[in-house]
Amino acid sequence: LGGPPSGHRGMGNDLSCCAKRADEKNHIQRSISKNPKADPQNVSVEGPVRQPQSDKVGIGAYFERSKIGTGLVVKSILSGSPAYKTGKISVGDAVEKVDGHDVTAAKLAELAELLLGAAGSRVSLSFKSVTSDKVYTVEVVRGIPLPILYNN
């Protein structure tokens, strides 16, 4: 309770190390006033928070690092999504391959790059079932748009 964790700075014009990295990566310019009511034009965020990627869509499954062992497992599945409609993918299943690429040691960002694609395109996924330990493969049609964040 005694202040921000080490490596982080307080509010005002100082940014945390994470905010600085994000700003540098996304070329965001920030201007924050300590008293926004007195200085309203100095309260702004300029530049893209995230570039719209309307051409990239997913399958409606979210993944996380496995808590028991290695690899990435299904964290959740959106109801009605392409992943849900396969009727085979379950929470806890470990993803092993995407379009023939071994992803057992992949990072989440690397998996996302392989899973995202044009709406209506197909992606082949191999999973190891959490319940039976058997490997199965499904073909999923991409169709869940990514959320787009806008600057206001």
pTM for the full predicted model: 0.61
Arithmetic mean of pLDDT, 31-43: 47
Contact 96, 72 (CB under 8 A): no
Residue-wise pLDDT tens digits, 112-142: 999 999 999 999 999 999 999 999 999 999 9
Residue-wise pLDDT tens digits, 41-96: 444 444 444 444 458 999 999 999 999 877 999 999 999 999 999 999 999 999 99
Higher pLDDT, 48 or 105: 105
Q: For residues 48 and 41, what is the distance between their CA atoms, to the nearest angstrom?
A: 19
DSSP 17-62: HHHHHHHHHHT-EEE--SSTTT-GGG-EEES-SS---TT-EE-SEE
Query: What is the per-residue pLDDT for 4?
Result: 43
Left, alpha or beta for 126 (phi > 0: left; psi -120 to 50: alpha)? beta
